[in-house]
Structure 1
Amino acid sequence: MKKWSMILGAVVLAGGILGACSEKETTKQSTDKPAEEPAEEPEQDTQVEQEEEGTTEQPASETETETEQPADDAPEANKETTEGKDEANKQPAEQTQPAKAVEAKGIFNGVGDPHTVEIAVNGQPQSFQVAPGSEIMKKFDKMSEGTEITFTYKKEGEQLILQELKSEGAKQPETGTAVEAKGIFNGMADPHTVEIEVNGQPQSFQVAPESETMKKFDTLKEGTEIAFTYKKEGEQLILQELK
């Protein structure tokens, strides 16, 4: 009996020791577990920070790319703007250049309308614009057709603007009337035409071919001053006599 009591006591003691060890291990496991879990949290924080850094850097590179594109286009825009300004500055300079006045001589053919006169220059009739009611137009109103004149004009676009009437010469002869004149012999244009400068205006005169007058012109030097008579027949000047 005493032996069984000792055996039972030993079993109870062993059970108590085993229970104590089991509680100690359970307490240790419960204490170690929270210590391991916080150790894993920094890795997650690191990954979050890396993801946040990656997310932050990516828009930064895109922003830089988008910002650089307008910077490349800016010089071209400035260049186009500068070229446009240069062209705009050139145009007024070309438009503001004044037309040069030209001096000419011709034969007054008449007044076309209150602001237009016709003058034959080098045998070619041309229309010239004159300010209506001006002193120049008043002179033309009183002038006889066929009068030789000296004047200045400017070309503006397609129009010839008469600026000044400098002098009036003798009236040209009427058809069939013989006129005496003096001039400078300029040479022969063809076998029946000679050119003579009368009052500074070169004019062509018709001469009968093979006539005595034409033979004289054949031997005459250019630049010689001559006196002669002629008639006007239509638009032609017919030389009658070389004096």
Structure 2
Amino acid sequence: MKAIAITWLLGFSIVFIGNLDLQSLALYTKEQKQILMQAQDSVVMEKEGVFTGWADPHTVEIRIDEESMAFQVAKDVEKYFDNIEDKDLVCFKYVDKPVENDFSVEQLLLTEIHKIKVNIE
């Protein structure tokens, strides 16, 4: 886990480790929330898994350690899927990002993906 410390000019700081507890954001001002969300976005995670397919036009499913997870796919990342087929082993990077205007809901956003091995099953 990565630790992130954020210090404001007002003289106080917040330290959080790993994923930010989004429900606790209600305690912060709008400006503080924006700073925390930017810091959360900067924590890029990398994993390997089996690509299982498209759930809808902007969401893919990847199985990691026998658990399927859904990831949002930004337009600039879609091009990486041109050579990825169902059941390919992939390496990918993502950020855990809150849904805009609802900090209690998180979504996983792919930032990069590439194939490691063809159809492993």
TM-score by length of 2: 0.59
SS in 1 for 2:81: helix
**Corresponding residue SS for 1:172:** coil
Q: Any unmatched runs of 5+ in structure 1?
A: 1-86, 174-243
1: CA distance between counterparts of 2:46 and 2:119?
A: 20
* Percentage identity across paired residues of the two chains: 29
Distance in 1 (alpha carbons) for counterparts of 2:32 and 2:58: 34
Residue 188 (structure 1) aligns with: none
Q: Which residue is 1:94 aligned to?
A: 36
Q: CA RMSD in A?
A: 2.5
1:150 to 79, 87, 91: 91
1:1-243 alignment, distance < 5 Å: 88=29, 90-99=32-41, 100-132=43-75, 134=76, 136-157=77-98, 158-173=106-121
Specify whether residues 96 and 167 from structure 1 end up closer, same or farther in structure 2 by C-alpha distance, changes over 3 A only. Answer: same
3-state secondary structure, aligned to 1:171: coil
Cα distance change of structure 1 residues 141 and 116 upon mapping to structure 2, 3 Å threshold: farther
Task: Tell me how far apart the structure 1 counterparts of residues 39 and 115 of structure 2 sit (CA, whole Å).
Answer: 28
How far apart, in 2, do the equivalents of 1:94 and 1:144 lie?
A: 36
Partner SS state of residue 86, structure 2: coil
Deviation at 1:127, TM superposition (A): 0.6
Contact 2:88 2:119 in 1 (8 A): yes
Residue 171 (structure 1) shift: 1.2
User: Once the 2 structures are TM-superposed, how far is the Cα of residue 91 of structure 1 from its aligned partner?
Assistant: 4.5
Higher helix share: 1
Distance 1:155 1:103 in 2: 11
Q: 1:140 to 1:90 in 2, by over 3 A?
A: closer
Aligned 8 A contact 1:151 1:164 in 2:
yes
Code of the residue aligned with 1:131 in structure 2: it is A
**Aligned partner of 1:118: which letter?**
E
Q: Aligned partners of 1:172 and 1:95: how far apart in 2?
A: 37
Tell me the number of residue pairs that the alignment of Structure 1 and Structure 2 aligns. 86
Preserved contact between residue 84 and residue 114 of structure 2 (Cα < 8 Å): no
**Given the two structures, how large is their TM-score scaled by the length of structure 1?**
0.31
Looking at secondary structure, tell me which structure has more strand per residue: 2
Using CA pairs under 8 Å that are at least 6 residues apart, name the structure with larger relative contact order, 1 or 2. Answer: 2
8 A Cα contact 1:111 1:141, kept in partner? no
Matched residues in 2 for 1:153 and 1:95: separation? 15
3-state SS of the aligned residue for 2:94? strand
CA contact (8 A) 1:151 1:166 kept: yes
Bigger Cα Rg: 1
